[in-house]
A and B are shown apart, each in its own frame.
Chain A
Amino acid sequence: MKIYDQEKALLEGLAANDTTAIETIYRENYAVIQAFIVKNNGYPDDARDIFQEAMIILFEKAKSSSFVLSCQIKTYLYSVCRRLWLKKLQKQNRYNPSIETIQETVAVEDEIETHEKRNEDFTLMENALSKIGEPCKSLLEAFYIQKKSMPEIAASFGYTNADNAKTQKYKCLVRLKKIFFAQYKH
C-alpha cells in the first residue's frame, strides 16, 4: 500500500504542477528511458524530448477526473515513451521491428491519440496568439495565463488606469477569438 500512496501523492503533485513531484518522477524514471532510446538508434536529446512528452501525457491523465492509477508510474512512462519512440522512428523510416523491450508495457494507444489531438488544439491557440501581435499577446498572456489582476497589468503595461487596460484587453480578446475560431472551424 505504501508504494501506491506514494505514487498517488506524486501524481497529485504533478497535476498541481508541483516542481518537487516532477523532480522526483524525473529522478526515478529518466535514466531507464534514456537507456532504452539510446539503445534503439536514438540520442540523449531524443530521450529528453520523448520523456517530456510522456510527462505531459501523464499530467493530462493525472488531471482528468476519471483517472485511476492502474499500474506503476514507471511502467506507464516506459510504455508511453516506447510507443512515442516507435512512432517517431516509423515517421523517419528508421523503424526496426526488432526493437528491444526489456520491461513490461501497458496499452497506451488511446492516451497518445488524445494527447495528439490536444497538442493540435494547443498549437491552434498558440498560433492565434502569435498572430495578434504585441502588445495584445503579452497583455492577454498576463491576464489569462499568468492570472495577473487588472491594476497590476495597467501598471506594468503603462496604462493610466485599470479600466483603460480592461478596454484594451477586450479589444485584443475579440481579435484573438476571431482568429482562433476561424482556424478552429477549418
Chain B
Amino acid sequence: MEDNILLDAIEKYRYGQMDDQEKVFFEELRKKNPEIDQIAAEHNFFLAELDKMSELKNLKHNLNLVESKLVNEGAISRREGKTKAKVIYLWNRYRRTIAVAACIAVIVSLSTASFVSNYSEKKNVSVITPLVDNKLNQFEHKLNQIEHKLNDASSVITKEKFEANFRATGFLVDANGYIITNAHVVVNAKNLIIENKKGEQFSAKAVYSNPATDLAILKITDTSFKKTSTLPYTFSKTSADLAEPIFTLGYPREEVVYGEGYLSAKSGFSGDTASYQISISVNPGNSGGPVINKNGEVIGIISSKETNADGVVFAIKSKNIYTALKEVKRDKDENIKVSSENSLKGLKRVQQIKKLEDFVYKVKGN
C-alpha cells in the first residue's frame, strides 16, 4: 500500500493539491531518496502522456461539435448528402483519367474498325482464289511461239510479239466471235487476245464486264477471225442437280486440259446463290472455263476456288449468261445468238471433247 500513497502524493503535488508544509516535505523526500525520485519522474511522465491524451480527446470532441453544428447550418457539406453532388465530385476527381480513357477508347475503336475492315477484305481475297494464271513468263511464251511455228509452219504468225502477263480460259457463246469469260480476267487488262489451241491469236475487246456476277463477254475484233461452225453445246436455263457429273476444259497450261468432277452444292461461297460449288481439279488458268454436264449442256463457268480447302471450286450458274447477253443487247446493241442445237448429246466423252476443244480458247492479256 505504500506505493499507493506515494503515487497519490505525486499526483497531489503535480496538481497543486498540497499545502506548503507537505510540499517541502515531499521535495525533501525526493531529494533524499533516489528510488522515490525515479518513481516520481516516471509517474510524472506517464501523467503528462495521459494529460496530452485527454487534451487531444477534448479538442477532438469540440472539433466534432463545431463541425456538426456547421454541417447542420449548411456551412459545411453534409457527409451523408454527398450523393447529391457525387457526379460532380467524381468528375472533378477522375476527369483526367476519364479524358485519357476516352482518348484510348477512341483510338482503340478507330484502329479496331480499320483493322477489322482491312482484315475482312483481305480475308475475302485470300479465301477465294480467282483462277487466272498470272505467272506467264517470257520463257514459256517464247517456247510456245517456237512450238507453234514448228507445228504449223504454213500459218505464218505475222503479228507483232504479244507479251501476255496472264492467261485464263474462255469459250464461244456465238460462232460470230463472242467469247464468254470471267470479269476478273479482263478487269485490269489493257490489251486482250484470244488464242486457239493451234496458237493462232486474235485481238479482242471486252463488250461487257460485270464484277457483280463476275461475267465478261469479249468480241473478237480481228479480221483474220472467221466464223466457226455451229456451237455443239447449249446453255442450260435450269438449275443443275446435286451430284451431277460434270467436266471442264481449260488452259491452266499452254495446252488444253480436261477435268472431271461433280456438282457438290447448289450455292457458292458464303451461300452465294448465283453460283455452284463443284468438286473438280482446277488450277490458275481455268478461270472462265465451261462446266458441262454429260448431255453437253453448259451449266456454269469456273470462277474461283477456296484457298484453304481442297477441291472446293465455285462456278457461276449458266442462267447468268442469259442475263448478261440481254444486257449486252440492250446497252451495246450487239446481237448475240445462243445456239439451240446440242450435238454433243449421246456421244462418248472422247468424241464430245474432240468436238468441244475448238470452241474453248485461251484468253490472254497485259
Contact = CB atoms under 8 A, between A and B. Distances in A.
Are chains A and B native binding partners rather than an unrelated pairing? yes
Interface in A1-45: 17, 19, 22-23, 26-27, 30-31, 34, 38-39, 41-45
B296 to A, nearest CB: 82
Contact of B50 (A34, A42, A125, A170): A125
Contacts of B118: none
Contacts of B54: 144-145
Given A19-B65, A30-B75, A173 B57 contact: no
B6 to A, nearest CB: 10
Interface stretch (A52-60, A73-81, A102-110, A153-161): A52-60
Contacts, number: 94
Given A39-B92, A144-B50, A173-B7, A44 B70 contact: no
Interface of B: 3-4, 7-8, 42-43, 46-47, 49-60, 62-63, 65-67, 69-70, 75-77, 79, 82, 89, 92-93, 96
A124 B50 CA distance: 10
Contacts of A122: 52-53, 56
A23 B53 contact: no
Contacts of B8: 166, 170
Interface of A: 17, 19, 22-23, 26-27, 30-31, 34, 38-39, 41-45, 48, 52, 55-56, 59, 63, 96, 118, 121-122, 124-126, 144-145, 166-167, 170, 173-174, 177, 180-181
A27 to B, nearest CB: 6
Contact of B76 (A48, A55, A144, A173): A48
21 contacts: A17-B58, A19-B66, A22-B62, A26-B66, A27-B70, A30-B70, A39-B92, A43-B82, A44-B82, A52-B67, A63-B55, A124-B49, A125-B49, A125-B53, A144-B50, A145-B53, A166-B8, A170-B8, A174-B3, A177-B43, A180-B49
Contacts of B59: 17, 55-56, 59
A96 B100 CA distance: 15
A59 B59 CA distance: 8
A114 B67 CA distance: 25
Given A23-B70, A170-B8, 8 more contacts: A30-B70, A31-B75, A39-B92, A52-B60, A55-B59, A55-B63, A96-B96, A170-B3
A63 to B, nearest CB: 8
A124 B42 CA distance: 16
B1 to A, nearest CB: 9
A43 B76 CA distance: 12
Nearest to B47: A144
Contacts of B51: 144
B97 to A, nearest CB: 10
B49 A121 contact: yes
Contacts of B62: 17, 19, 22
Contact of B4 (A26, A38, A167): A167
A145 B69 CA distance: 24
